[in-house]
Structure formats: structure tokens, C-alpha cells
Structure 1
Amino acid sequence: MEFSLFYFADDCSADGNRYQLLLDGARFADTHGFSAVWTPERHFHTFGGLYPNPALTGAALATVTERVAIRAGSVVAPLHHPVRIAEDWSVVDNLSNGRAGVAFASGWHANDFVLNPDGYATRRESLADTVDQVRRLWQGESVPYPNGAGEEVEVRIFPAPVQPQLPMWITSGGSPETFRTAGRLGAGVLTHLLGQGIDVLAERIAAYRAELAEHHGDDNRGQVTLMLHTFLGEDRDTVKEIVRGPFTEYLRSSADLFSAIRGGGAAGLSPDEMPTEEEIQWLLNHAFERYFTEGSLLGTVPDNLRMLERLDAIGVDEVACLIDFGVDAKLVMDSLVHLDELRGRWTERP
């Protein structure tokens, strides 16, 4: 099982140089045996708001690292022309000497589609088409598109990428159909535990690998990458107190985003139906306790060796450690020595 770093900061939690933790963490990952650094695509909300364009952050990371893969987690495919995606990531591939990788998502928030309003209704159907076109462009094929005069022209991308194949994942929040789609496309899966437990994830992974076998042969295992919020220390109780406040506020920011999807305010409820602050805080505290005990890498190295054993047993290939959820950046950087210990102990186990 591989280990990577994942970023998804709430912009409200960023002080000073907003990208210092991204750059410092990437340098640490690059020199300590981690496999990759992931940055997302987010728009028009503080939740994830530091990362509107993973190709830009990926280009920056390419200049300060030498070994780790530089990945988008994720590119929202229906927001962009396939040529734009292929060109941007070919530049990242060249800057990094062949270390680029992209997870594709269909998108879910209607406001994001300010960038392409017509793409919202067909976002799920267009995902596979975008993946196919980016693959063909990446491999040097000419692909026909209409130009400004309404004529169809053959387009190739420049610069040519370094890697002959672009490593690809499909991002899933837990939908079994998305896991199966990834299998049919021969891509990896990028997922999380925010809406699914480990037992459910095991079923999704099994379905993914069944599709892979059917469409791409029994030898194709693919890759399952699981994002987990991560902060490790020497004492479990101390870690819990350090992360409780930041993680709870991170969950609050996430809940605000999701409620906006459902109609504004608290899921479009009338004032009389709105939960009180006390009720909201109870729900957040309950969610924090669940994530701390069974949905994250929070705590100590021994605690999380057991977590890794559970994940390995269900077929997870990579743990993408989300480290920028609001804890002080210096504390996060100090904690990475414990994460590296966890990585080392897992890698060296009998």
C-alpha cells in the first residue's frame, strides 16, 4: 500500500502564505518515500477554496519536487474542453519530467457549472467521453473538433507529454455505478469514507475489480486510492484535542456547502425547521467522534497500523493523507515524522 499527501484546505483556515503548507509538505513527501501529492479543483466556496485549478498547483509542485507523482484530485471533466485538460496536464508532465496523473470527476454542484452551464445536465454521460478524448490526445492522436468558422479540424496537443499514457482515476463519493464506470474505463478509483463505511467500501472495490476483469482482463488490478484525514502524534488523547476544533469546523464548512446544494440555508428549510446551533454542534461532535475512531488516520502510529490492516484486507492500494484541514501548519509539519514512521513500519512489516 502506497502513501501520498492530499490537500483540500478551507480558505478561511489559511493564514499568511496560503500555499506554504502545500509546498513544504510536498518537499517532505518528495524526500521521504511518499508516492504522490494531490490537489483538487474547487470553485466559489471557501471549502477547498485554495484550489480552483489543480494544473496550476501541479505546475508549482513540479518545480519544487523531483520524485513524487503530481496528481489532480480531481479535474471536473464537464467544466473543461478535453483539449484544455490535455494541454494543461502535458505541461505539468513536462515540468515534472513525467510525473503527472489526473483523477476525473463528473461534478455535483450546480454553481460550479457557471464555467459551462450547458454541461450540468449531461455531466455524468460526458465523463467517459472526456476520458476517452484526453487519452487519445495524450497518445498523440489527432482528434476532430469544430473551429470558430464551424469547420471540423484535426487537433493535436503541444507540447507532447513525457509519459506515453496519462495515469487516470475516476473520483467517486461512494456510488457503486461510478466504481463500475472506473472499471469499464480501465482507470483507477479515488474515493473517501465521508459517505461510506469500510464494509460498504469493500463491496464497491469488489464491483470495481469485477468490471476491470470483465473489460480489461483478470491481470488488471487497477488502483484504489482512499483519501483519509490525517494527523498523527505520540499520544492519542493529545492528538484528539489538537484536531477536535479544526476538524469540527472543517466539517461545518463542508456541511454548509452541501446544504447549499439542497436549496440554500439549511437544506432549504423554513426558519421554524432550522436546527439550532446546539443541535448542529451535537451533530458535528457526533461526526467527529465517528471519523476519529473509524474514518481517518487520526491518533497514534499503533492505532493506525490496525486501520491500515483493515484497508489492505479490502483491497485499498494507496492512502491519500489529507493534512490541511485546519490544524496549525507548524504542527502539521511536525506531525509528518509520525506519518512517515507509519509509512515505514507498514512498508517494512513481515
Structure 2
Amino acid sequence: MGFMVGLTSPAAQLYIAECVEPKIRGILGSLTATLMALGILVTYVIGKFTECDVLAWIISSSSVFMLVGMYFCPESPSWLVYRKRMEEARRSICRLRGLSDTEDDEITKEIDRINEAVNNQEDVSVMKGLEQMAKSLKPLFLSLILMFFQQFSGINAIIFHAGTIFKASGSSIDNNISAIVVGAVQFVFTTAAMIIVDKSGRRILLLLSSVVMFFSLFPLGLFFYLKNNNFNVGNIQWIPLISIVGYMIGHSIGYNTIPFLIMSEIFPPSFRNIFSALSSSFNLFCLFLVVFFYSSMVDCINEEGVFWLYASICLISIPSVYYLLPETKGKSLEEVEKLFRNHSEKKTECVNSGFVNDSSV
């Protein structure tokens, strides 16, 4: 199952990015994270009332719907133009945009836009190709940073161990009910982020996400510090639920959706497949590390140490996003590529002329 999810996740994100118009790419690109949050919520709810084997049979049906649904979906216009299948690309654009064959100007304009980006990537030597890849490393680096912050903020450790965390806090609320509440909050606010991401922009949501997560995780760590040091926490046992709900709100409005959306936007066409695979693999590797070592970290530094560590990483993410990530809201994939390409060319010119100042870097 992990192997198949690893294959389909980046492909799904790229497919959406290549098919939709720039003005709604944020909404539809975030839809994958929204439906993932819905899947987690549905799993929590069904899992409360069924055994594991029954749960597995029920949720496996989603794969059948995907198999049937993808049969009726067209190939993306970018993929078809890149392979010189122009007539199929025209039909794909007509279907995706709701255009008729008579609206030839709109179709031609979009194909020309895609073709220009494709031509910029073609007819290069091996050395030129390596040079282009080197210039494309900044988008890859940015994507890896976002994937790191997404996972090492502790999201999947909290999702997978929600019941254990509530039980350790001594809360009187049923563990399964608490997990369902957390899943519901994640779904609602991921949906809200999906709606506003094209209006507010990517950077501001990531920054807000980091701030909210920090101020949610810090009191959670403080609660466990007091509890583990024999302070009376009987009157504040509501803190873990409120903190985790606040944390889920913070994660949902930014880091739950935007890293994969950014990944699908900033990679150049020539390296989009391999860079997306690398970025997604790195994300899953970080997920593995966070979940696998959660229990061991709790044994070593207690719950408060783990949650304060996650809070520290959220704090570090704020200047990283502010200074490194450009805003991609409303830009076509070709405009985003040109943004990074122009930046690299400008930096190269400064180096060749004998100096590099702060503004050029």
C-alpha cells in the first residue's frame, strides 16, 4: 500500500497542476489534502465501531472508485504537448475548459503558452542539461525544506498517536471521541484553507500556520511538564484537547496543503517528474522518522520534550519561509518557472561581472 501511495501521490498533484487554470490551481491543488483529511476523519469514525479487518475492507473501496474514475479523465495538455500530440492536446483543453471546437483562439493561446515552456527545455546538450538541473536545484531545495517542516512539526506523530496522547494526559474524554474531534477539525480547516489559498497567497498561510502551531504545542508541552513533575493538573486536563485542536487548525490552514501545492508549481517541466518523486519520497521518509521514533523520543525526553521540539521546528520555519519562498499565487506554471530562471540568470551575470551583492542573491 505504501508503494502504491508513493507512486500516485505526486502524480495526482502534478496532474491537477497541469490541468487547471492558474486562478483556481490553489483551490484544486489543495483539494487532495482536503480529501486526505476527510479520509482520516472517516477512518477514525468507522474505526470506533468496527474491528481492524472490517475497517480495511471498507476503506479499500476508495481504490475501486479511483480506478474507475481515472479511466474517464483526459491526459494533461502539458504532457500531450511535450510529446507533440497536438490534436489530443486540443481535445484535452476543450474538455477541461468546457470549450467548443469553434473557440479556436482560446485553445491556440493555451497551446502556444505550453509550447513556449516546452521549447525552452528542448534541444540541449548533456552539459547544458546538467547546467539547467543545477539552476533548478533551488526549487527542489525549497520543496524539501517545506516537506521537512510539514512532517517535523509532528503532524503524523500526533495523528497516529492521538489516542495515546489523550490517554497519557489523563483526560476523562473518550480517546476515540477525542481523535474524531481532531480529525473533524483538520477536515474543516483544511477545507477553509483550500477556499482561501488563491485569495490570500501561499506564504501568508504558511507563516500563519507556523505561528498557530507553535502557540498550540508550547502549552501542550507545558501541561505534560507539570504532570510529569507531579504538579496537580486536575483542573487543566482540558489543555491537551484544546492544544491539539489548535495545532490541527494551524497545520490545516497551511502546512497540510501548501507544500504539495508548491511542489507542483515550482519545478521546471524537464525535471518535474524526478524532482516531484524526490520531494515526495523525502516527505514520506520524514514521516517514517517522526512516527517511528515518537515512542523512543517520549521515553528519552518525555512528552514535554517532544512537543517542545516540534514547537521549536515550527518557530524555525517562520524566517525560513519568509526569506526563501516566493509567492506563486495567480501565476501560471510557465511564469513561476521564468521567475526562478530569471533569478538564476541574474545571479550568474553578477558572478561573471566580478561581484555578487545581497540584493542579487
- Pick the TM interval, shorter chain: under 0.3
**Which structure's residues are more often strand, by fraction?**
1
Larger Cα-atom Rg: 2
**Which structure's residues are more often helix, by fraction?**
2
State the TM-score, normalizing by the size of structure 1. Answer: 0.23
State the TM-score, normalizing by the size of structure 2. Answer: 0.23
